[in-house]
Amino acid sequence: MQKTDAGETGLDGSAATAIVTGQTRVVAIVGDPVRQVKSPVSFNREFSRRKIDAVMVPIQVDSDAFETDMPSILRVSSLGGVVVTMPFKARIMRMLEDCSDAARSVGAVNALRRLPSGGWYGDIFDGVGLVGAVRALGVEPSGLRVALIGAGGAGSAIAFALASAGVRSLAILDRDHARAWDLARRMSRPSVRVEAVASLEPGDADLLVNASPVGMEAADGLPIDSSVLRSDLAVVDIVTRPTTQLLEAARGLGCRHAGGAAMVAAQTTAIIDFLQIGPDRA
């Protein structure tokens, strides 16, 4: 280890987790699978930078045991917050005491903070992260035609955030067409043309967002026919692997592109503020 002004760093120069004590707050990131998540690196670096005595750890909760196991995890008194990833963003809603209006509209949450009552309050930040990742590419969402793959918890949050950012149209694709149709129905608004579609043709979109699980495994392939990709298309894949076949294809064509790490970076600050576990919250 080396010492820096921001704390300790590993031999590769990345920020290391601060010293853990008996007073350290634990922030869990929960998913199935959870091995691919990059959030602990981003969050623990930011905790160290802000001198917050907290550490994020990944917790694998098997999907078929979620309703049994998750309530027990939420009762751990040193738990300072929870970040929720696929496939639990909608399923955890029934375990909350309350949630934000945005989360209620989306029907999902991806961050929880503890209330004074001991219960949990949820909010959704996937959309905040996605819009930040798009802007980091030098692309302004306003006026864009967007193709969104995936209508689950993350996809729903992203759809609402893109609509609020002023996109011109939103085409929603999902293997479960009924789920895509339901999201399109819930998003109905005069300022944005929203529709559920079964396929895309080249030239149909300016921005392609993959908010589906396709790409979490190396053998998954592409979430969409490769003929849709073209050099002037911006591509964001929210899967938090170092790369995916979609990102490799986008890179090969010269597309502006970003992976899940960009989205994680864009929402980390907002979630830490939301958790209210900083030194001024003792």
- Whether residue 47 has pLDDT greater than 70: yes
Whether the Cβ atoms of residue 133 and residue 143 lie closer than 8 Å to each other: no
The CB-based long-range contact list for 177-185 (8 Å cut-off, 24+ gap) reads 179/151, 179/152, 180/151, 182/151, 183/151, 183/155, 183/156, 183/159
pLDDT in tens, 192-231: 999 999 998 889 999 999 999 898 888 888 999 999 999 9
Q: Which of 276, 263, 269, 273 is nearest to 127 (CA)?
A: 263
Q: Confidence class of residue 133 from pLDDT cuts 50, 70 and 90?
A: very high
- 116-124 mean pLDDT: 96
Structure tokens at 52: 């917050």
Q: Residues 19, 43: one domain? A: yes
Show the domain range for 98.
2-124+267-281
- Whether residue 282 has pLDDT greater than 60: no
Q: Confidence class of residue 146 from pLDDT cuts 50, 70 and 90?
A: very high
Q: Residues 67, 105: one domain? A: yes
pLDDT at 6: 39
Q: Confidence class of residue 265 from pLDDT cuts 50, 70 and 90?
A: confident
Residue 7 β-bridge partners: 4
Q: Residues 31, 80: one domain? A: yes
Crossing angle between the packed helical segments 126-136 and 153-164, to the nearest 10 degrees: 60
pLDDT at 241: 82
pLDDT at 11: 34
More reliable by pLDDT, 142 or 86: 142
Q: Confidence class of residue 64 from pLDDT cuts 50, 70 and 90?
A: very high
Q: Residues 259, 274: one domain? A: no
Q: Residues 136, 35: one domain? A: no
pLDDT at 13: 41
3-state secondary structure the chain: CEEECCEEECCCCCECCCCCCCCCEEEEEEECCCCCCCHHHHHHHHHHHHCCCEEEEEEECCHHHHHHHHHHHHCCCCEEEEEECCCCCCHHHHHCCEECHHHHHHCCCCEEEECCCCCEEEECCHHHHHHHHHHHCCCCCCCCEEEEECCCHHHHHHHHHHHHCCCCEEEEECCCHHHHHHHHHHCCECCEEEEECCCCCCCCCCEEEECCCCCCCCCCCCCCCHHHCCCCCEEEECCCCCCCHHHHHHHHHCCCEECHHHHHHHHHHHHHHHHCCCHHHC
- 31-51 mean pLDDT: 91
- The residue count for the chain: 282
Q: Residues 98, 39: one domain? A: yes
pLDDT at 18: 63
Cα 137 to Cα 128: distance, rounded to the nearest angstrom:
15
pLDDT in tens, 13-37: 444 546 889 899 999 999 999 988 8
Percentage above 90 pLDDT, the chain = 70
The tally of domains found in the chain comes to: 2
CATH number at residue 149: 3.40.50.720
Is 89 an active-site residue? Answer: yes
Which one of the listed residues 3, 38, 51, 89 is annotated catalytic? 89
* Cα 143 → chain centroid: 23
CATH number at residue 83: 3.40.50.10860
pLDDT at 280: 60
Q: Residues 153, 273: one domain? A: no
- Whether residue 132 has pLDDT greater than 50: yes
- 63-82 mean pLDDT: 96
Q: Residues 115, 214: one domain? A: no
- 161-183 mean pLDDT: 95
Q: Residues 204, 246: one domain? A: yes
pLDDT in tens, 81-118: 999 998 999 999 999 999 998 899 888 899 999 999 99
Q: Residues 13, 120: one domain? A: yes
pLDDT at 188: 76
pLDDT at 281: 58
Cα 170 to Cα 77: distance, rounded to the nearest angstrom:
42
Q: Residues 118, 235: one domain? A: no
Q: Residues 232, 132: one domain? A: yes
